[in-house]
Amino acid sequence: MHLEPKGEGWDALVDPPAPAEPLDTVARAFALCFRDGAGATVLEHLRKLFLERRVGPSASDAELRHVEGQRSVVAHILALIERGRRGAAHPSNERRNLP
């Protein structure tokens, strides 16, 4: 029996990624996690710490990239929460909420 090689070099050691949860399921989970007062406190903290942070003109390229990465993650969390809330409020519109 002939087995196909898994890959070349380091790729041969990497398992394929596990199937991701459907995005709507993940978005609903985010909306549930951040729906109460504690969630609102965490979101406000994330907004102040990462979205409202400003770096000076002497910031290095690496620092700018790092800050933009942080902002991107927080923006993604906020977008998932909003999507989850829309889906929870309008379950019949679930298909329309897809990008």
Note whether residue 65 is domain-resident. Answer: yes
**85 in any annotated domain:** yes
Question: Tens of pLDDT along 9-33?
Answer: 777 777 766 666 788 999 999 999 9
Question: Is residue 41 a part of any domain in this protein?
Answer: yes
Domain coverage including residue 60: 19-89
- The answer to whether residue 29 is domain-embedded is yes
Structure confidence by residue, pLDDT tens digits, 39-50? 999 999 999 999
pLDDT at 51 over 50: yes
Q: For residue 23, what pLDDT is reported?
A: 85
Please list, in sequence order, all residues whose beta carbon lies within 8 angstroms of the beta carbon of residue 14, skipping any fewer than 6 positions away.
7
What single letter denotes the amino acid at residue 47? R
Q: How far is CA 72 from the centre of its chain?
A: 8
Average pLDDT score over residue span 41-68: 95
Number of domains into which the chain is organized: 1
In a domain, 3, yes or no: no
- Does 99 score more than 70 pLDDT? no
pLDDT digits (tens, 9 = 90+) for 78-91: 999 999 999 865 54
**Is-above-0.85 flag for pTM?**
no
The sign of the dihedral angle between the CA atoms of 46, 52, 56, 62 is positive
Residue 98, in any domain of the structure: no
Contact 97, 24 (CB under 8 A): yes
